[in-house]
Amino acid sequence: MSEFEPGRGKRLGMVVGGSLLDGMAVRLDSGDSVEDMAVGRYVVVEGRKKKFFGMITDVTLGTIDKQIEITPPDMADPFVAEIIAGASTFGTVHVAPMLTLGLDAVSILDGPQPVKTVPSHFSEVREASEEDVALVFGREDASHFYVGTPLDMETKVCLDLKRFGERSSGIFGKSGTGKTFLTRILLIGLVQKGAAANLIFDMHNEYGWEGSSEGEQTRTVKGLKQLFPAKVAVFTLDEESSRARKVLTDFTVQIGYDQVEPEDIEMLSELLRLSPRAMDAIGFLLKKFGSSRWLEAFLSIESTEERDELAESLGVYSSTLRALNMSLSRLRRLKFLVPRTVEDSVQMILGYLDRGQNVVLEFGRYSDLLAYVLVANILTRRIHSRYVDATERAMGDKNQQPRQLVITIEEAHKFLNPGVAKQTIFGTIAREMRKYNVTLLVVDQRPSEIDEEVMSQIGTRITCLLDNEKDIDAVLTGISGKNELRTVLAKLETKQQALVVGHAVPMPVVIRTRDYGSPESYRDLGFASAAELRRRADKDNDDLFGDRS
Amino acid sequence: MALRVGEVIESNTTGFIAQCYELHAAPAFGSLVRVSDGALSTYGLVYDVTTSSIDPGRRPIARGKDEEDEAAVFRNNPQLAKLFRTDFTCLVAGYGEAGRIYHFLPPAPPRVHAFVHICTLEEVADFSGSLDFLANLVAPGFPGPGDELAGAFLRLASRARADDGFLVRAGKELAVLLSGDLRRLNAILRRMKP
């Protein structure tokens, strides 16, 4: 029974009790201090017939005799202290079993299965080794993307991006816990593996050309376009800002008044402080001017007299229209909103997406919610209807199916809160668009404000530190072993750590996110610097034409 | 070469008494002795050393009033060395047969007049490879000062093994054996401290 064996992790202790529901109690070997344990760490239990994969969810202190708690031994003496530790007092860790693997050949081929039993008494518990982790999470390949390492380990945890894109996913965490960082890494993965086409509503200009990474010191890191110039197109709403940031953009998005529908305004009712009566007035305007002209017609009214006349003809209070005008004139401030557009932005975006390009839409200086919610909603609604058409057309022919699309939205609770989720396009996508090959990647800091029904549809949840009880509850809705994971979640570090649960991983796992921003990390992701490209070209030249020097 | 110190004069399954060839030359308290008896060698832990008159009816009298030091008492009364005897009592801690050491009781106790040797440090090191005998020392029925004996032997074994981890391992073994009696554990630990 040696401590280290090749291919197996370090022995930690043995199972002394527990149940499937509550997890297993594992007594640590005397050499192991509880202080070396960490909640969220990944362990392997070697039962007699099966191997179990589990996660440490709690750490407790035990004593062999209650007397020792009343009259503690002289711990100032290092000799006594060393003997007492592990013999009279010991550490116990609580392990939640997650997956199991039979040790016979057939079961090994089947791969890990959900647990239906617990290991027998005194089964050996070890730290998970690299092989164990690879067995569960798969190795990096065409669809598996390395996102980070388990706690205290140097092994790669891979996410199945194909599964990740198949259903809506969420990245949650308090502000400043690295949501953006994680999102960027995942988007890089999605682009690199080509698992899905991406449309990213980039509120703070973080993903397109370059973003910032808050560490000990804030540094700029390369965005998607720099890593994958041929696969990513950067669209902008604010050309000036993009130019000022020296970002090469592919297209400047403009939205015509005719594309704004009443439901887009309804989404904004909170932000624009619109009363229900004002919403009714919009209904009347719509009837009068038609859906493509109502906004333009209303906003073109300059004088109060005209507006009052209009109110009279519509049969609404003139004060209502005045208030509506006050609210809607805030839209005038948005320069990308124009009465008529030359090119159809949605068509452009879809064109890029159809060609397998990924589109990042930068908001430039319009980084307020008003612009974000409005644009994301308008564009997504139209993309949604195209996708529905395309999928329905492709009913009989699998090859005609549109490419899987992942739409990334930030501040998702603004789109998906219970008040609006039933009506907005994002609610619809989250609920049923899996069938139409469109899924969401929601990034949010208040998961509790997201509609429960939507939340339950989110397949993969990647969660950085959350400390609000309601948020933790929301994120763990419908996940087995919720109580154990709750401890894990609340104890995450504030930076670079995340709990991954759901569809894209076979079992919940806490990861330390991979490094991003250093030259090595770029190289790992396939980025070639100019010098490297030249060297490759030279080598190709030499290979083709021989060394001419 | 193990030093021969005496002969077994009384024995039973769990222990034996040996008499020293020389007065006051008993092995130290807590030392390991070996009784070779044909194919079987029995290991014993010395726990009780007695020096008394060979005739229980005769009590010694004080003789050193006019002597310079204690050695002179024996020098000037050479008969004394023959009138007293030193015996030591041992606990049977295990036995060796065909090159293997077993830490449980031998099939037969050592025979009377079997020779008793003090074990060398190598033998002590070999014997202390297992700590099973500790349970006997701290068992409630043990006739001698078991806790003291455990401490003394473990100190010796630690010296013989030149292994820092040994005392800690032994301590942990004791901690488990004495899990319900922390005061005793502490007392032994203090005695075996390096």
Q: What is the pLDDT along chain A (549 residues), one digit of tens a residue?
A: 444 456 677 888 999 998 888 889 999 887 667 788 888 788 899 988 888 988 888 888 888 777 777 877 777 788 888 888 777 788 889 998 888 888 777 777 777 888 888 888 999 999 888 888 878 887 888 888 888 888 777 778 888 888 888 888 899 988 888 888 888 888 888 888 887 888 888 888 888 887 776 665 667 788 888 888 888 888 888 888 888 888 878 888 888 888 888 777 877 777 778 888 888 888 888 888 877 778 887 777 778 888 788 878 877 787 887 888 888 888 878 888 888 777 888 888 888 888 888 888 888 888 778 888 888 888 888 888 888 888 888 777 777 777 888 888 888 887 788 777 777 778 888 777 667 788 888 898 888 888 888 888 888 889 988 888 888 888 888 777 777 788 888 888 888 888 888 888 888 888 888 887 777 777 777 776 666 677 777 877 787 777 655
Whether A268 is in a domain gets the answer yes
Measure CB to CB from residue A83 to each of B180, B183, B189 and give the nearest one: B189
**Which of A87, A104, A137 is a domain's end point?**
A137
Are the C-beta atoms of A123 and A18 separated by less than 8 Å?
no
> What pLDDT is stored for residue A528 in this prediction?
66
Residue A470 Cα to chain centre, angstroms:
19
A372 and A445 together in one domain: yes
Which one, of A457, A487, A452, A494, lies nearest residue A472 by Cα? A487
B88 and B181 together in one domain: no
**Which of B125, B156, B184 is a domain's end point?**
B125
B121 and B49 together in one domain: yes
A374 and A449 together in one domain: yes
Tell me the one-letter amino acid at B37. D
A312 and A198 together in one domain: no
| Domain count for chain B | 2
A513 and A537 together in one domain: no
**Which of B125, B140, B163 is a domain's end point?**
B125
| Domain count for chain A | 4
> What pLDDT is stored for residue B51 in this prediction?
92
A266 and A307 together in one domain: yes
**Which of A314, A333, A352 is a domain's end point?**
A333
B183 contacts on A by Cβ (under 8 Å): 71
DSSP state of A449: G
Our CA angle for B186, B190, B191, nearest 5°, is: 120
Are the C-beta atoms of A145 and A193 separated by less than 8 Å?
yes
Segments forming the whole domain that contains residue A25: 11-137
Token pair 């800002």 in the structure block, residue: A241
* C-alpha distances in Å from residue A330, one per residue of A339, A434, B29: 15, 35, 98
A133 and A272 together in one domain: no
A59 and A182 together in one domain: no
Q: Evaluate if residue B35 carries a pLDDT over 90.
A: yes
Burial letters for A472-501: b for 16+ Cβ neighbours within 10 Å, e otherwise?
bebbbeeeebeebbbbbbeebbebbbbbbb
DSSP state of A329: G
Distance from CA of B146 to the nearest CA of A (A): 20
Q: Determine whether the interchain pair A65/B180 forms a contact, defined as Cβ–Cβ distance below 8 Å.
A: yes
Q: Determine whether the interchain pair A65/B171 forms a contact, defined as Cβ–Cβ distance below 8 Å.
A: no
Whether A147 is in a domain gets the answer no
A498 and A537 together in one domain: no
A369 and A459 together in one domain: yes
Q: Is the ipTM of this complex over 0.85?
A: no
Are the C-beta atoms of A112 and A99 separated by less than 8 Å?
yes
A329 and A456 together in one domain: no
A225 and A115 together in one domain: no
Whether A338 is in a domain gets the answer no
Q: Mapping DSSP to helix (H, G, I), strand (E, B) and coil, where does residue A308 land?
A: helix
Q: Mapping DSSP to helix (H, G, I), strand (E, B) and coil, where does residue B32 land?
A: strand
Q: Determine whether the interchain pair B176/A87 forms a contact, defined as Cβ–Cβ distance below 8 Å.
A: yes
Chain B residue nearest residue A29, CA to CA: B172
Q: What is the length of chain B?
A: 194
**Parallel, antiparallel or unpaired: strands B84-97 and B100-102:** antiparallel
Q: Determine whether the interchain pair B186/A83 forms a contact, defined as Cβ–Cβ distance below 8 Å.
A: no
Say how far apart CA A113 and CA A29 lie, in whole Å: 28
B111 and B149 together in one domain: no
> What pLDDT is stored for residue A547 in this prediction?
64
Token pair 């509550």 in the structure block, residue: A22
B46 and B102 together in one domain: yes
Say how far apart CA B131 and CA B174 lie, in whole Å: 9
Q: How many CB pairs under 8 A join A and B?
A: 47
Are the C-beta atoms of A502 and A459 separated by less than 8 Å?
yes
Whether A286 is in a domain gets the answer yes
Whether A5 is in a domain gets the answer no
B132 and B121 together in one domain: no
What does residue A362 show for φ and ψ, rounded to 5 degrees?
-85, 140
